Amino acid sequence: MRRVVVIALLLALPGVATAADGKQVYGRYCVMCHGPNGVGNTNPDSVVGQGPGRDTTIQPGIGPSLRNVGALAADFYLRTGYMPLKRTGLQPRRSRLLLSNAQIEALIKYVASLGHGPPIPHPQPERGSLSEGQRLFASNCAGCHQIMARGGYVTHAVPPPLGQATATEIAEAVRIGPYVMPRFSPKQISNAQLNSLIRYVQWTQKPDDRGGLSLGRVGPVPEGLVTWFVGAAALVALCLVIGRRLHG
Amino acid sequence: MGKARDAFLSGVVLLLGRRRTPPQPDAHLLPPAPKHTRAETVAIALLFIAALCAAAFPVVYFVGSIPAKTQYLGLSIGLALLFLAAALIVAAQSVIPTEELAHAYPPDEHEEDEEYVARLVEESGKGFTRRGLFKLGLVSAGGALGVAALVPAVSFGPLGVEEFYGTPWRKGRRLVDENDVPLRADDIDEKALYTAFPEGADKEEQGSAVVVVRLPRSSLKLSGQVEGYDADGIVAYSKLCTHAGCAISLYRAPLFAPEEPRPALVCPCHYSTFDPADGGSVTFGPAGRRLPMLPLAIDGKGELRARGNFDGPVGPSWWGVRERRPSP
Amino acid sequence: MIRKVVCYVDTRTGTAPFLRKALRYLFPDHWSFLLGEIALYAFIVLVATGVYLTFFFVDSRQDVVYHGPYAPLQGQHMSEAYRSVLDISMTVKAGLLIRQTHHWAANVFLAAVILHLFRVFFTGAYRKPRELTWLIGVTMLMLALLEAYIGYSMVDDLMSGMGLVIGYAVGLSIPFVGANLMGWLFHGPFPGGAVLIPRLYIAHVLIFPVLIAVLLTLHLVLVALRHHSQFRGRRQTERTVIGIPLYPGQTPRSLGLMLSVAGVLFLLGGLVQINPIWLWGPFHTYISTNGAQPDWYLGWLIGGLRLMPGFDVTIGHYTLIPGPFWGGALFPLVVFGFLYFWPYVERKLTGDVAFHNLLDRPRDNPRRTGIGVGMVTWVFLVFVAGSSDRVQVLFGLSYTGQIWFYRVAVLVLPVVAGLVAAWVCRQLVRGEQIEEDRRRAETEGRLELASRFDQA
């Protein structure tokens, strides 16, 4: 019943997002795992039923506390579609946004009001150094995300490729450490260094591709495929042409 | 105008006109060539196209304003070669006489000659009365010379393994980051991965780099040789994987522990996974030895220092890797 | 004019009788006999492009700071070797074309050698009297693998540097003497001394090419001395070889193939990016990247290393067999051992010690084909297992799940594949026999019918 009321209210309200609206969105999508007022829920016996965006009828309903995570975290998880999570326990992945822009803004305001967390960052990658960014990325990020940010593998997790990441999202992820990613505080990577890092990641989205058709910039595996299915295939075909058996 | 037209017509005739075959001797070595004059024209055309492509190469090379040089240079030379090849193959299939002949295989053996050579060698040795001793002498001389010739190769590098046990870490040595700034214990947060080196040492040495992480003290299970190696929950391990030596640059650090994999140090080469709370023990992957651990201390200024060397040699395993610890 | 040249050559060298015989040397006409030639021509392209590169590569480990045109590495520390390859790729005109052609040529060379090896193996061309040719060929394959590995490792970029430490670890895993050997070779434990890169360089541009060239010459001479083997045919017998003479028939064909190989390699070199080392950055022992892989011809070894469970075999304080030994050293030892000893094993198994100039079709020898297919399946499965992390990233299949699948599959599937291959061979031969019988019966029937008709 309460849900019906919430839905009706949501439909009835006009555009401007407020923290109060956010609370209603929170109630619809988030409270079952993140608890009332964002306190979090670590009770292993709590279950969550069917709901929007969830792909099973029953699943464990636990989630971290959102107190003091700030607009930074909310903005990251909502704009990427990491949250709402389809199923608890899975790695959050970039996905289709379930919430409208208005709903997201409202939710961000609400989560930001839960304590004193960091605001949405405004990185300035154009002020960073590309070379410093490359060095930082090679030292801190390439192990998981691959040197050209094409994504990779860690035992039981999949660091995603960064081809679609915006500057803000990168800045946010670095400060949060989502899922099993390490968290890099300003003591470890300063805001100026972060600008350089983001500048490098953006560069990997359009890198120096001299030498011709790039085969994905992931290394020798596609090169081997071209060797066999283009190079060797063409030359064997030629052998078939040259070496026709004569009759007579 | 008339001259130009004459020249043009002469050129066309020269290119397309039939070559008068020279008078043949009476006995032909080869069968008559296939009369595919169209193929010959095709081959000639291909040759000139090849020439054009190749001629483009110096143009692309020297004219600065042409972009994508690698692609155009490759195209010009690649196509030139392919067109030339095509011309030759067309000529081979249709213009040049192709015979299918039969020859005898060479004989399996030449018994007479084998016998001659064998007897030659046998008879040459008839003068020897103490064959066995002579052979022994030859083998000794040849063997000793061979060994002598190989001896200088010994100096290619150290044959002993002392250096395999050494690392630049000493008791009291400070941990510094890539920019030589000392690591402060307060700056080490949980859920973060730091790389550190011994102050003043060569960073590229296999025994230098360590990974430093902070874990809740309650989660640490350090026992045996590495008991107490942490400093307030901060632990440090060699960064070189004990499987094949790649740098361990992956740190799996859960944001929400009840639902996410446990903290682990992982190597990107073959995914050896090490537990930083349990002395670097191997939890997955092909590594056969746990990560060497560096004992840490926090000095009076709050900076991290080593309390000694690793509890075992760093890097991939070899015969003596479990024999002793690095020292001092 | 031609007569003048020939006269000159014969009077100065006396080789007219030799030329008369040599120019009419017969090449049996089958497309699969040209695979070895592809390898030969790729090798020529390798040498030609390689010589060019030797004039620009600097074989020095000296640490330098980069101030060239490539912005992402501006001001970074790297070895002179790596910097020289950056210069070749970015500054020297046509440098990148030649470098990429060289690398594509190496890849295609090894693919051609392996295709050629398959053809020789599955047709039994290695049998008496051609065992020596086979042994030399297998040795060249081994040398070529090492040569290519050394070639891309001396660039000292992040990916190949990681590959080098892994090769070092495999060497270290040799029981008893591994560390002594590797310390000796590298001049100390990894990363070795400053002399390592010059050592790799001289091995790559002098020692290995000379070894391969000498063996290649021997290989070709042996082929010519005993003449090519040939497939069975109406006129082809153990004593008579049917084919196209070297001149004038085969020459333009072979020349055409050579130019085509070079053409394809230069097209690839200009149009398709390969080994973009500027994207990886310089190697340091303390950094690494996800998704690092060796070139394809060493992929079977990374598979071997990933599939083995984690254990060192120890006796007390001594580590007898470190983990990487199984996948990195024993596995290739077994495969090459199989290749080297197979002609002799087959002789023992079949008792066939006769001379063979005629080849089997793969179906004519089900046992050999089955064993060969089994071996290929084994190596191929391990090879595929080596890139299972990229499969996880691309297709979402669990990495740990794949590893367990492959651990079982590499033991079971080769046997299954070999048995299936042998069965297919037998079925094909049976089918041919049935077809032959049917044709003979039809002809007989027709003849009988005709003769009855005549009588009537």
> Which domain CATH number covers B273?
2.102.10.10
Residue A48's pLDDT is 78
The ranges of chain C with pLDDT < 70 are 456
User: Are residue B169 and residue B69 in the same domain, yes or no?
Assistant: no
Examine residue C17 and state whether it is found in any structural domain, yes or no.
no
Examine residue C12 and state whether it is found in any structural domain, yes or no.
no
How large a percentage of chain A has pLDDT more than 70? 88
Examine residue B6 and state whether it is found in any structural domain, yes or no.
no
Residue B66's pLDDT is 82
A182 to B92: CB separation less than 8 angstroms, yes or no: no
Three-class DSSP category at A175: helix
Enumerate residues 6+ apart whose C-beta is below 8 A from C98: C49, C52, C53, C88, C269
Residue position matching structure tokens 């001379």: C355
Residue A85's pLDDT is 85
Residue A247's pLDDT is 43
User: Are residue C327 and residue C384 in the same domain, yes or no?
Assistant: no
Enumerate residues 6+ apart whose C-beta is below 8 A from C219: C133, C136, C137, C140
Residue A248's pLDDT is 32
Examine residue B27 and state whether it is found in any structural domain, yes or no.
no
Examine residue B286 and state whether it is found in any structural domain, yes or no.
yes
Residue A246's pLDDT is 45
Model confidence at A117: pLDDT above 60 = yes
For C442, the token pair is 């039809």
Residue B245's pLDDT is 96
**Which residues in chain B have Cβ-Cβ distances shorter than 8 Å to A182?**
191-193, 251, 253
Shortest distance, CA C359 to any CA of chain B (angstroms): 14
Q: Does any CB of chain C come closer than 8 Å to the CB of residue B80? A: yes
Q: Select the more confidently predicted residue: A59 or C187.
A: C187
Taking one residue from B and the other from C, the number of pairs with CB-CB distance under 8 angstroms is 286
Candidates B191, B213, B248, partner chain A, best to mutate (most A CBs within 10 A): B191
Q: Does any CB of chain B come closer than 8 Å to the CB of residue A182? A: yes
Q: Does any CB of chain A come closer than 8 Å to the CB of residue C387? A: yes
Chains touching C (at least 3 CB pairs under 8 A) are A, B
Tally Cβ neighbours within 10 Å of residue B300: 5
> What is the rounded distance in angstroms from the CA atom of residue C94 to the CA atom of residue B76?
12
> Which domain CATH number covers C332?
1.20.810.10
**Which residues in chain C have Cβ-Cβ distances shorter than 8 Å to B159?**
180, 183-184
DSSP strand pairing (C313-315 vs B194-198)? unpaired
Candidates C168, C254, C288, partner chain B, best to mutate (most B CBs within 10 A): C288
> What is the rounded distance in angstroms from the CA atom of residue C46 to the CA atom of residue A57?
62
Q: Which of C212, C196, C203 is nearest to C164 (CA)?
A: C196
Residue C174's pLDDT is 96
Considering only CA atoms, give the Rg of chain A: 24
Instruction: List the single residue in A with minimal CA-CA distance to C260.
Output: A235
ipTM metric: 0.91
Shortest distance, CA A3 to any CA of chain B (angstroms): 28
Q: Does any CB of chain A come closer than 8 Å to the CB of residue C161? A: no
Instruction: List the single residue in A with minimal CA-CA distance to B187.
Output: A187
User: Are residue B177 and residue B296 in the same domain, yes or no?
Assistant: yes
**Which residues in chain A have Cβ-Cβ distances shorter than 8 Å to C264?**
231, 234-235
Examine residue B137 and state whether it is found in any structural domain, yes or no.
no
Are the beta carbons of C326 and C306 closer than 8 angstroms?
no
User: Are residue C273 and residue C416 in the same domain, yes or no?
Assistant: no
User: Are residue C262 and residue C389 in the same domain, yes or no?
Assistant: no
Three-class DSSP category at A83: coil
Three-class DSSP category at C64: strand
Mean pLDDT of chain A: 88
B319 to C179: CB separation less than 8 angstroms, yes or no: yes
Q: Which of B26, B70, B76, B71 is nearest to B56 (CA)?
A: B76
Shortest distance, CA A27 to any CA of chain C (angstroms): 32
User: Are residue C133 and residue C43 in the same domain, yes or no?
Assistant: yes
Q: Which of B75, B97, B119 is the last residue of a domain?
A: B97
- The tens digit of pLDDT for each residue in C101-130 reads 999 999 999 999 999 999 999 999 999 999
Examine residue C13 and state whether it is found in any structural domain, yes or no.
no
> What is the rounded distance in angstroms from the CA atom of residue C257 to the CA atom of residue B82?
9
User: Are residue C396 and residue C253 in the same domain, yes or no?
Assistant: no
C290 to A152: CB separation less than 8 angstroms, yes or no: yes
Domain count within chain B: 2
Residue position matching structure tokens 């060479």: B106
Q: Select the more confidently predicted residue: A80 or A85.
A: A80
User: Are residue C262 and residue C148 in the same domain, yes or no?
Assistant: yes
Q: How confident is the model at residue A13 (pLDDT cuts 50, 70, 90)?
A: low
**Which residues in chain C have Cβ-Cβ distances shorter than 8 Å to B285?**
310
Domain hosting C398: range is: 361-456
Q: Does any CB of chain C come closer than 8 Å to the CB of residue B249? A: yes
H/E stretch holding B293 reads strand B293-294
**Which residues in chain B have Cβ-Cβ distances shorter than 8 Å to C388?**
none
Model confidence at A12: pLDDT above 70 = no
For B11, the token pair is 């050129």
Strand order, beta sheet including C240-245? B101-104, C240-245, C26-27
B70 to A210: CB separation less than 8 angstroms, yes or no: yes
> What is the rounded distance in angstroms from the CA atom of residue C312 to the CA atom of residue C322?
4
Domain hosting B54: range is: 32-97
Q: Does any CB of chain C come closer than 8 Å to the CB of residue A206? A: no
Q: Which of A215, B83, B74, B61 is nearest to C98 (CA)?
A: B74
CB-closest option in C317, C319, C323 to B243: C323
Residue B15's pLDDT is 57
> What is the rounded distance in angstroms from the CA atom of residue B71 to the CA atom of residue A209?
12
Q: Does any CB of chain C come closer than 8 Å to the CB of residue B103? A: yes
DSSP label of B49: H
User: Are residue C65 and residue C150 in the same domain, yes or no?
Assistant: yes
Q: Does any CB of chain C come closer than 8 Å to the CB of residue A31? A: no
Shortest distance, CA A123 to any CA of chain C (angstroms): 19
> What is the rounded distance in angstroms from the CA atom of residue C43 to the CA atom of residue C215?
13
> What is the rounded distance in angstroms from the CA atom of residue C58 to the CA atom of residue C66?
14
H/E stretch holding C63 reads strand C63-65
Examine residue C5 and state whether it is found in any structural domain, yes or no.
no
Domain count within chain C: 2
Residue B12's pLDDT is 63
- The tens digit of pLDDT for each residue in B130-175 reads 999 999 999 999 999 999 999 999 999 999 999 999 999 999 999 9
The three-point CA angle B147-B151-B152 to 5° equals: 145
> What is the rounded distance in angstroms from the CA atom of residue A10 to the CA atom of residue C139?
76
> What is the rounded distance in angstroms from the CA atom of residue B287 to the CA atom of residue C112?
35
CB-closest option in B157, B240, B322 to C183: B157
**Which residues in chain C have Cβ-Cβ distances shorter than 8 Å to B61?**
93-94
Are the beta carbons of C138 and C144 closer than 8 angstroms?
no
Examine residue C89 and state whether it is found in any structural domain, yes or no.
yes
CB-closest option in B154, B163, B316 to C172: B316
In B155-257, which ranges are E strands? 175-176, 194-198, 210-214, 234-238, 250-252
What are residue A24's phi and psi, to 5 degrees? -70, -40
Q: How confident is the model at residue B18 (pLDDT cuts 50, 70, 90)?
A: low
How large a percentage of chain B has pLDDT more than 90? 78
Q: What is the DSSP string of C16-64?
A: HHHHHHHTT-EE---GGGGHHHHHHHHHHHHHHHHHHHHTT------EE
DSSP label of C326: I
> What is the rounded distance in angstroms from the CA atom of residue B234 to the CA atom of residue B227?
13
User: Are residue C95 and residue C239 in the same domain, yes or no?
Assistant: yes
CB-closest option in B103, B159, B267 to C180: B159
Q: Does any CB of chain B come closer than 8 Å to the CB of residue A240? A: no
At C263, the amino acid letter reads G
Tally Cβ neighbours within 10 Å of residue C175: 15
Residue B100's pLDDT is 87
> What is the rounded distance in angstroms from the CA atom of residue A155 to the CA atom of residue A144?
10
Q: Does any CB of chain C come closer than 8 Å to the CB of residue A217? A: yes
Q: Does any CB of chain C come closer than 8 Å to the CB of residue B108? A: yes
Mean pLDDT of B251-278: 94
User: Are residue C274 and residue C415 in the same domain, yes or no?
Assistant: no
Model confidence at B27: pLDDT above 90 = no
How large a percentage of chain C has pLDDT more than 90? 89
B268 to C288: CB separation less than 8 angstroms, yes or no: yes
User: Are residue B273 and residue B177 in the same domain, yes or no?
Assistant: yes
At C163, the amino acid letter reads G
Examine residue B15 and state whether it is found in any structural domain, yes or no.
no
> What is the rounded distance in angstroms from the CA atom of residue B172 to the CA atom of residue B306?
5
A153 to B271: CB separation less than 8 angstroms, yes or no: yes
Shortest distance, CA A143 to any CA of chain B (angstroms): 5
User: Are residue C332 and residue C392 in the same domain, yes or no?
Assistant: no
Q: Which of C198, C20, C212, C205 is nearest to C102 (CA)?
A: C205
Residue B98's pLDDT is 83
In A15-84, which ranges are E strands? 47-48, 59-60
Q: Where are the alpha helices (DSSP H) in C309-398?
A: 324, 331-350, 366-385, 388-395
Examine residue B215 and state whether it is found in any structural domain, yes or no.
yes
Instruction: List the single residue in C with minimal CA-CA distance to B204.
Output: C285
Examine residue C34 and state whether it is found in any structural domain, yes or no.
yes
> What is the rounded distance in angstroms from the CA atom of residue A215 to the CA atom of residue A223?
7
Examine residue C250 and state whether it is found in any structural domain, yes or no.
yes
User: Are residue B187 and residue B82 in the same domain, yes or no?
Assistant: no
- The tens digit of pLDDT for each residue in B48-105 reads 999 999 999 999 999 988 888 899 999 999 999 999 999 999 998 888 888 889 999 9
Residue C118's pLDDT is 97
DSSP label of C330: I
C188 to B271: CB separation less than 8 angstroms, yes or no: no
Residue C343's pLDDT is 96
Three-class DSSP category at A204: helix
> What is the rounded distance in angstroms from the CA atom of residue C227 to the CA atom of residue A27?
85
User: Are residue C200 and residue C89 in the same domain, yes or no?
Assistant: yes
A183 to B191: CB separation less than 8 angstroms, yes or no: yes
Model confidence at A177: pLDDT above 50 = yes
B75 to C270: CB separation less than 8 angstroms, yes or no: yes
Examine residue C14 and state whether it is found in any structural domain, yes or no.
no
Residue position matching structure tokens 């022994």: B136
CB-closest option in B73, B86, B97 to C97: B73
User: Are residue C245 and residue C384 in the same domain, yes or no?
Assistant: no
CB-closest option in B78, B159, B163 to C270: B78
Examine residue B318 and state whether it is found in any structural domain, yes or no.
no
